[in-house]
Each structure stands twice: as C-alpha cells, then as structure tokens.
Chain A
Amino acid sequence: MSKQRKAVALISGGLDSMLAAKTIMEQGVHVEGINFFTGFCVEGHTHAIRAQDKAKPKRNNSLWVAEQLGIKLHIVDVIEEYKKVLINPKHGYGANMNPCLDCKIFMVNKAKQWLVENDFDFIITGEVIGQRPMSQRKATMPIISQQSGADDLLLRPLCAKNLPETLPEREGWVDREKLHEITGRSRKPQMALAKQFGFDDYAQPAGGCCFLTDASYSAKLVDLWKARDGDKEYDLDDVMLLKVGRHIRPEQHFKLIVAREEGEERFMQGYKKDFITLKCIDYPGALTLVDGTPSAEDLFTAARITARYGQGRNAEQVDVRIIGKDGSERIIQVKPFAADEIPQAWLI
C-alpha cells in the first residue's frame, strides 16, 4: 500500500486557497492548512474595534474555510519576522505599501520550514497566473518557487497545467490531469469550480485582508516613519493604532489620534498610560491620544482639535481635561476650531 502523502496549504480565507486545497484533497492527499498573521491581516481587528460594525456577523475566514474543508488549521504569528519584509522588500511595493511579491516568497518560505519540521511532502497555494498585478504573474511564479526555497515542492493546483511539472506531479502523488489551468482576473472559473465542489458560501472577492493594500492606511504608515526621521521599526501597537481614529498631524513632532466612535474610544482607553490624552469635560466628545513630544502650545492646539470633534464644537469655550502619561491632570479652556480652521494638510 502506498504511503498517504501530506500537503500543507496556505489558507488565506479566500476562495482560491479553498479551491486549491479541495482539489488536492479530492486526490486522497492529507491536507492541513497554515495561515500567517503579519499584524496587517486586520479584517477581524477592525470589526472588534468599531462598535458600528458589531451588528454584522463576524467570522475569521481562514478558520471558516478550514472548517468547511474539514482540515486542521495552524495559525502562525509572524509579526516580528514580517518586519524585514515590509521595511525592505527586495521586489518593492505595489500601488501602496504592499510588498506582495516579497510577502508571498516569505510565506511560502515559512511554509517550507513548517513542512520540514512536520514531515509533510509538499506545499499548495491558491495562486492563479494573472490574478494579481504584482505577485501572481507568469514571470513571478518561478521567482516565488525559487526564492522561497520551496522549488518544485510548491504546487499551484488552480493553474498547474500552465506551469512546469512539480515534484508531486512527477512522483505521481497527484494526477496532473485532475489539476486546473485557470488564468487571468476573471472569477468565473473559480465560481464554477466552487459550484462543482458544492461551496455556495465563500469570502468575496479574492482580495485578502491586508491593510497594506489600503491607500489611507499606507499613508498613515508612511507618515509614522517620516515622523520618526525615517526609522521604519514598528511594533504591534503602532500597527493597531494606525487603524483607529482620525489621524491629525499639526507638526512633525506630534500627532493626534481622535476616536470616531464608542468602540474606538474603548479600544484607545487601553493606551492611556502610553500617551497624553485629552477629553472634553462638559460636552460628550472624543478621546484623543497625543503621540510625540508636544509643547504646552501644541497641547492647546490639540485641545482645540479635540473640542472640534465633540458636541461642544459650536460653543464659545470648552473645558478639556489633559492627562499626562504619569497620570497628572489639568484642565484648559479653549475655543473649538471651526471646520475650516483645521488645514487639510494636517489630516493624514
């Protein structure tokens, strides 16, 4: 009796990786999923933070996909290791701060390490030639295989027939004839395959959940690095705080993060010991965190901005409480900025 082969599938939570894994499972291969958490896979985070999103049903798509497939899923924290990918991507960035090709190489490399440690035989991804402008092109497929170190242990079941044979095909672990030859950006072949497999619910569209592809998020990240004199080091709190609130930078040396709603405010409360905070006293209003090294004059500006985003925005004077990182408190009275007094250039 031949040995049952084992494949590790990169599961993003989207349709393509789900179909790729299912295609190989149908051939009698034991498949387990792997999902990498970079800190920027933030769909769940945003939902958890913002109160207004709570009415929507929430699920982690990679866990959901694994459950639909009936496979184990290993979620791996790669936050620290991912920094070198983001900070210095060999193949550069996409339209925003998304280092998609380096990211894919990194993840396949991590999967290869996992494969060796867990005695698996090959790696599956849901890549499709022509699906993505940066990382999923005919020219990038061999680059990912080679630079990740996976070489011909990397099988892309959805477009395998358009690529050279891999080891699992040559060895007969999988039947190449039962693999696919999907190309391009159309989703129709994937939808047809999903129907064939009986999947009538899946994440749409195949865009992943990486915040680095988001223009607004990327602008905040670039601003953060610039304000730190080009030092691109970051930690998870930096990454998290770029996702909440309005970000307003009146000067290079200080920035305000103003909560937009209750959920964000509750989340930001957890950072009160790390930042100077401001809050209106007599009127309902947003919590503001101050990042950087503001002077007394800067804090006066910060208070006027905080008052602008509170319900006392039309009042002549508003009392604003300022709490230092050491817990010291003081109250100042300010006139809220009018809408047109906050320069557009301050808004990140």
Chain B
Amino acid sequence: MTRETLNARRLLCPLPVIRTQDKVKQLKVGDQLEVICTDPGVMQDIPAWCRINGHKVLETVSGDHEYIIILEVGG
C-alpha cells in the first residue's frame, strides 16, 4: 500500500475531481490518496465520485480555506 498526495489547490470543480480520477488510475487497489483543495465544492463532489466509482473516503478535513480528502482506492 502506498500513500500519495495530490495538490489540487486553486482548481475549481470539476477539475479536482478530474485530477483525482486521473491519479487514481495510476494507483492500485488499497492505495491511499490525499487530495488537497481550495474549492469547498470538493467536499461534495469527490465523495460522490468515490461512491459511484467504488472508492472509499477515509477522512475529510476542512479549515483555513483548505479542504483535504483522504481516499482509499477500491476495486
């Protein structure tokens, strides 16, 4: 299992979702990805994208105009 970080600051939705989607394609099942964003819309959109594509949101953190989502790649 590896853990990677994706900097999606300054991107507005749906671009953080697209970047997350592209990054996840390079990872393996069970790998974790930490996505750091500044658009609050990601708190809705990335979990929704994870739900429909079979990935798991492990943690969401918000504060100081930054929003962090940690997800685990599903099968």
- CB-CB under 8 A from B17, the residues of chain A are 60, 63, 75
In the complex, A44 Cα to B17 Cα: how many Å?
12
Size of interface on A: residues with Cβ below 8 Å to B: 28
C-alpha spacing A70/B48, complex, angstroms: 11
Quick check: is A58 within 8 A (CB to CB) of the other chain?
yes
B1-24 interface bits toward A, Cβ cutoff 8 Å, 1 = contact, 0 = none: 000000000101111011001000
Interface residues of B, count at CB 8 A: 19
Q: Is A270 an interface residue when CB atoms closer than 8 A count as contact? A: yes
Given contacts A45-B12, A73-B49, A266-B65, contact A59 B44 (CB under 8 A): yes
Closest to A47 in B: B41
Give the Cβ gap from B24 to chain A, nearest Cβ, in Å. 12
CB-based closest 3 A-B pairs: A44-B13, A63-B48, A48-B39
> What residues on B are CB-neighbors of A37 within 8 Å?
14-15, 18
Q: Is B30 an interface residue, CB under 8 A from the partner?
A: no
- Interface: A49 (CB within 8 A): yes
Interface residue ranges of B35-51 to A (CB < 8 Å): 39-41, 44-45, 48-49, 51
Q: How far is the CA of A58 from the CA of B14 in the complex (A)?
A: 12
A63-B52, A72-B53 are known; give 14 further A-B pairs, CB within 8 A: A35-B14, A37-B18, A44-B45, A48-B13, A48-B40, A59-B44, A59-B45, A60-B44, A63-B49, A64-B48, A66-B52, A73-B49, A75-B14, A75-B17
Which B residues are CB-close (under 8 A) to A348? Answer: none
Q: Are B44 and A74 in contact (CB under 8 A)?
A: no
Digitize A69-96: 1 where CB-to-B-CB distance is under 8 Å, 0 elsewhere: 0111111110000000000000000000
Q: A68 — nearest CB in chain B belongs to which residue?
A: B52
Enumerate chain B residues within 8 angstroms of A49, measured Cβ to Cβ.
12
Given contacts A44-B41, A48-B40, contact A60 B48 (CB under 8 A): yes
Q: What CA separation (Å) do A266 and B12 show in the bound complex?
A: 13
Please name all residues of chain A whose beta carbon is closer than 8 Å to the beta carbon of B44 when the two chains form the complex.
58-60
Interface residues of A in 36-71 (CB under 8 A from B): 37, 41, 44-45, 47-49, 54, 58-60, 62-64, 66-67, 70-71
- Chain B residue at minimum C-beta to C-beta distance from A46: B12
Contact of A48 with B12 at beta-carbon distance under 8 Å, contacts A58-B41, A60-B45 already known? yes
> A141 on the interface (CB 8 Å rule)?
no
Which residues of chain B are near A76, meaning CB under 8 Å? Answer: 18
Closest Cβ neighbor of A65 among chain B residues? B52
User: With A66-B52, A72-B53 given, is the CB distance from A60 to B14 under 8 Å?
Assistant: yes
Among candidates A45, A67, A70, A73, residue contacting B13 with C-beta atoms closer than 8 Å: A45
A203 within 8 Å of B by Cβ?
Answer: no
Question: Which residues does chain B contribute within 8 Å of A242, judged by CB atoms?
Answer: none
A240 is an interface residue with CB less than 8 A from chain B: yes
Question: Contacts of B10 on A, CB cut-off 8 Å?
Answer: 270
